[in-house]
Each structure stands twice: as structure tokens, then as C-alpha cells.
Amino acid sequence: HVKSEARGQVRVYESKADQVIRDRWVLQADLGHALRNGELSLHFQPQAEINGRIFGFEALMRWTHPTRGAVSPDEFIPLAEESNLILDMSAWVLKEACRTAAGWTHPLTVAVNLSPIQFQHGELPQLIQQTLIDTGLPPSRLELEITEGILLGDFAHIVGLLRRIKAMGVRIAMDDFGTGYSSLSYLQAFPFDKIKIDKSFIQAIGRTEQATTIIRAVIGLCRGLGIPVIAEGVETEEQRSFLAQEHCPEIQGYIIGRPAPIQVYSKIVDKLAPVRTS
């Protein structure tokens, strides 16, 4: 917005909305260099049986911007998806997660999040196959997490891709269950290996009657269908004990461990790691 002022001066005003759009644009441009500049990294968050025994980790992408510091995935993943940068970033995450897990002396599982964009471009089953070959990770130790939004595309095409991936021996999990639109019909259209109950339901335990009813129903539904279920975002003992009482088999959340560089969990993934005594 250019406004002429007295004595021929011209001043440029930027509205709040313009500034938000420009910030987003600048951040997206910066993201274009992030992978090349080594600004991306992975954190790993433990996944456990209800009794606390850790069986695997979810890999979560992190971006440390040179001047802004840590940028949340909820902010940068949508920017990456808009610009197709997500394709190179996702290929990097998959490779890095598989390479890391292949190095563990305990055969724990690793879960990697997929973006809907990966189902629209390129050869996803081939990328996964090649990554498993390159890293030497057995397919049975890899789990791929998709969200309900992925199924809103060309359903037959996407289910076809999922079946090819599953045929390799890789597991497919439904992330953020209960937050999408098509919740139930796809449970009979594709044999998911795991359902992750969204953390918004877990965080409402003890606060709303509806949340506890929904969680109870989802656990019962999954048990009836024979699909393993994990609760995400478990933070408190109250939440954990409610889930135990409802026979939820698995949990993930701060109560077990926060996402962190894998070195933080070296004692868990590596039986040769020295046990710290101090």
C-alpha cells in the first residue's frame, strides 16, 4: 500500500495481514535451503506397552532456522507441502530414520510420518523399497503413519499404493484417528496395522464425559476389528491409569518420554551402551 504524502514523500505501509503473508513467504524460501544447509534433524519419541516397556520410536522432523531457532512442524510442514519441498524432505526423513534404526542393537521399530503429497508424486513404494535396501532395515521394523486426509484423494489409487507397501512387510498406521472426516468406512477398505487415537481425546480425559466415551468406543472398536491401538499425547498418571483400566494396549506421550535426539535414548536402543552410574 503506497500512500503519497505532503512534499512528494512516499511511504510504504504494510498491514498486519501483509506482514503475515510476507513472513510465510520468507520462511518458505528459507525452507528451500534447509535440507541442503543441514538445518533439518530428527527427534525420536518412544512408544510403549501400557506397562511402560518401550518397543519402538516415532521419528519427528525438526527444523532449526539459522536466526529464528526451532520452527514447529505444524508451521513448516504445511509450507513444505505447498511447495513440494516435502518430497525431498520426506525422502531424507525416511532414509535417516531407517538408517538410525538399522544401527540399533535392539530390534525396536521405527515409525515415520508420510505426507499426502507423497501419494500424488513419484513412486512411493519404490522409494520405500530402495530405502530399506540401502539402509538394511528389515521391513518388519518400519511403520508408516498416514492421516485420514490422505484417503480423501483418489481412494482406489491410494489404497493400491498402501497395499503394495504393506506387501513388502512394512506396517501402516492411521495417525490422529478421530480428527478427520471419513473415520469409519476406510477401516473396512484397508487393513490398517495400527490406529493412533489422537491426543486431543487423551487430553480431555477427566475433563469431558464425551472424550472418555469416545476413547472407550475406539478401543472397543479396534479390539473387535483386531487392530492394535495406541493412545498418543499421554502426559499424566490420570490419563495413563484410565487407559490401563480401559485395556488400551499401547501409549505414546511425555509420560513415557519426550521427542529427543536418539542419543538421549541410547541405553534403550543399544544394549552395548554403557549404563550411566551417576
| 201-210 CB burial, b ≥16 within 10 A, e <16 | bbbbbeeeee
Q: Which of 45, 47, 90, 113 binds Mg ion (CB under 5 A)?
A: 113
Nearer to ligand C2E, 93 or 211 (CB): 93
**Least distance in angstroms from the C-beta of 151 to Mg ion:** 15
Residue 220, C-beta contacts closer than 8 angstroms, at least 6 positions apart: none
Could you tell me which residues are beta bridge partners of residue 45?
A: 58
Q: Which does 135 bind (CB under 5 to 8 A by kind): Mg ion, ligand C2E, none?
A: none
**Least distance in angstroms from the C-beta of 179 to Mg ion:** 8
Q: Which does 248 bind (CB under 5 to 8 A by kind): ligand C2E, Mg ion, none?
A: none
Beta 250-252 vs 40-49: how paired, if at all?
antiparallel
**To 5 degrees, how large is the angle CA 134–CA 140–CA 146?**
90
Beta 142-146 vs 109-113: how paired, if at all?
parallel
In Å, how far are 68, 93, 193, 210 from 65, measured between CA atoms?
Answer: 5, 17, 35, 40
Q: Which does 47 bind (CB under 5 to 8 A by kind): ligand C2E, Mg ion, none?
A: none
Q: Which does 209 bind (CB under 5 to 8 A by kind): ligand C2E, Mg ion, none?
A: none
Binding mask 135-154 for Mg ion (x = CB under 5 A): ----------x---------
Nearer to Mg ion, 14 or 82 (CB): 82
Nearer to ligand C2E, 2 or 109 (CB): 109
Which residues contact ligand C2E (rule: CB under 6 A)? 45, 60-61, 72-74, 77, 90, 93, 113-115, 145, 175-176, 199, 232-235, 253-254, 259
Could you tell me which residues are beta bridge partners of residue 171?
A: 143
Question: Can you tell me the distance from the alpha carbon of 162 to that of 195, in angstroms, rounded to the nearest whole number?
Answer: 15
Beta 194-197 vs 171-177: how paired, if at all?
parallel
Query: Applying CB under 5 A, does 115 fall inside the site for Mg ion?
Result: no
**Least distance in angstroms from the C-beta of 4 to Mg ion:** 48
